[in-house]
Structure 1
């Protein structure tokens, strides 16, 4: 397996996973900044290049992993597919529904596989929640509250209101839409630091028989790193997750079940979602699993993310502090 890893910002999180794998023979990292490429080469021992065209068209490359700025995702995915490569795209897939569909159409024509880094689907707590909702073990899901907080940990990601939904809230919207579907109504409030380096938003989603709230903040000091969780209120129980993690999503989490009879800690596997996601991608490429993070399955969450992103960049929604 030879992987072309595009991007030196969030691509560092993917690089850290590839560096631990025995089934990845070679990783070549593309970037535009020599100093950042040198840092990755020194840390992981990977080869680097500033020639994107040569890397995408290299016949020995099996997978193109796209961790470039979001507005480049769709065009780069299409180029890689047309070059006969399988593709992994960091969240979100595209900056418009038309571009997302263009990737899907190109994938079908090329006969290749495309994976969207819906890493949160591999979180053990999220898997437990999805299964609990699917088998109705606690009755109907009435309310879902999801919260994420982070410092500005990745070079090039300022997470102002112009990017907060696309680069931070998308995974939360994927969880909500997978459990409750498309919302009937959406309300958004937000605040941003001057200069757009850091922001916070709260999104309330209304459903016929349920509600959801997604709260995200990139206003944390750097030592805070990342934190958050969810609270899922069912007819007969509450599931509550608390999580802390670093910039590679390694950390600790605690899922607790509350019923009228007891409070119970739920033991979960200690799996890292990014590593699990890449496990799944490589297993699919080896023919051992079927793709569970394909672009079609990412469309509903992308549609909501684009809607919220538009609202966040509307002047009436946000104010500076």
Structure 2
């Protein structure tokens, strides 16, 4: 079910008024009407929404039953993504949900199956980086993905951070890995080897205790892409708008999101 374009912007409810919800709001408002946000009712979040001129509610059911809302954008802790996305789809809403779609492959497949003709758009934001656009559909032989940062210590390293690099690797190589090895698995540092058919390989190296800010991909031992340059979030939300309003395809669809969850689950099992 694609929204009938009538010259009016689609109406989207934001779910989550935390750090990422606040980052999502400006680009969302450039493309949609965002009249309401579902929050936990905390004073800080409610006050922020008041300043932004957006209604605050703790009643998710009322939002999902509102026939004037076309879609939801879910920016909540990752262990709630699958349940919230499933409820929104069951209510007939298009869904933007931050990655990962779920923290188990079973849940990811269940939510994907529930989408039907609705848009299920998962926030694998790096797929929308302009430096990666030319490589989709042109599989590479080797890639080394390096991420150095400081922070996000309260979340699972594999689900929160490695899922980004897995998403990139699946897009670059055009398929799921046939082999997985995790030679380094520490709380804040991991090295992951993804083997693909034909002897192709991606190596992912993540360190979230670094004083540096590095996010690079070395392709086929040569060209280096610096993903710290540019902000793909604007392009990502533009793709979501095009999907909701015009039925345009997008790379972070349900099939890709499920493949990411399945691969991260395999990585965690191998760690």
Q: What's the TM-score, normalizing by structure 2? A: 0.85
Q: 1:206 aligns with which of 185, 195, 201?
A: 195
Per-residue deviation at 1:230?
0.6
CA-to-aligned-CA distance 1:52-88 (integer Å, 9 cap, x gap): 2222222221111111222221121111111111111
The 5 A counterparts of 1:84-99 are 84-99=92-107
Looking at structure 2, the residues matched to 204 and 33 of structure 1 have their Cα atoms a distance apart, in angstroms, of 42
What does residue 225 of structure 2 align with?
A: 241
Q: How many residues align?
A: 258
Looking at structure 2, the residues matched to 215 and 42 of structure 1 have their Cα atoms a distance apart, in angstroms, of 41
The answer (yes or no) to whether the contact 1:94–1:100 under 8 Å persists in 2 is: yes
RMSD: 2.3
> For the structure 1 residues 128 and 58, does the alpha-carbon distance in structure 2 shift closer, same or farther, using more than 3 Å as the test?
same
Looking at structure 1, the residues matched to 248 and 78 of structure 2 have their Cα atoms a distance apart, in angstroms, of 28
Classify the secondary structure of the residue corresponding to 2:131. Answer: helix
Higher Rg of the two aligned structures: 1
Q: 2:128 aligns with which of 111, 122, 125?
A: 122
Per-residue deviation at 1:191?
2.1
Per-residue deviation at 1:173?
0.7
Indicate yes or no: 2:136 matched with 1:167.
no
Classify the secondary structure of the residue corresponding to 2:223. Answer: strand
> Which range moved further: 54-63 or 144-153?
144-153
> For the structure 1 residues 216 and 45, does the alpha-carbon distance in structure 2 shift closer, same or farther, using more than 3 Å as the test?
farther
Looking at structure 2, the residues matched to 297 and 243 of structure 1 have their Cα atoms a distance apart, in angstroms, of 20
The answer (yes or no) to whether the contact 1:2–1:25 under 8 Å persists in 2 is: yes
Indicate yes or no: 2:237 matched with 1:278.
yes
What does residue 6 of structure 2 align with?
A: none
What does residue 151 of structure 1 align with?
A: 150
In the alignment, structure 1 segments of 5+ residues that lack a partner are: 135-140, 193-198, 245-252, 254-269, 313-321
Per-residue deviation at 1:33?
4.5
The answer (yes or no) to whether the contact 1:15–1:44 under 8 Å persists in 2 is: no
The answer (yes or no) to whether the contact 2:180–2:270 under 8 Å persists in 1 is: no
The answer (yes or no) to whether the contact 2:135–2:172 under 8 Å persists in 1 is: no
Q: 2:186 aligns with which of 187, 191, 200?
A: 191
Looking at structure 2, the residues matched to 200 and 191 of structure 1 have their Cα atoms a distance apart, in angstroms, of 5
> For the structure 1 residues 310 and 16, does the alpha-carbon distance in structure 2 shift closer, same or farther, using more than 3 Å as the test?
farther
Per-residue deviation at 1:39?
5.0
The answer to which structure, 1 or 2, has the higher relative contact order (CA under 8 A, 6+ apart) is 2
Looking at structure 1, the residues matched to 227 and 107 of structure 2 have their Cα atoms a distance apart, in angstroms, of 33
Indicate yes or no: 2:217 matched with 1:219.
no
In the alignment, structure 2 segments of 5+ residues that lack a partner are: 1-9
> For the structure 1 residues 78 and 28, does the alpha-carbon distance in structure 2 shift closer, same or farther, using more than 3 Å as the test?
same
The answer (yes or no) to whether the contact 1:228–1:242 under 8 Å persists in 2 is: yes
> For the structure 1 residues 243 and 175, does the alpha-carbon distance in structure 2 shift closer, same or farther, using more than 3 Å as the test?
closer
Q: What's the TM-score, normalizing by structure 1? A: 0.73
Looking at structure 2, the residues matched to 304 and 113 of structure 1 have their Cα atoms a distance apart, in angstroms, of 23
CA-to-aligned-CA distance 1:257-287 (integer Å, 9 cap, x gap): xxxxxxxxxxxxx5x3111111011112111
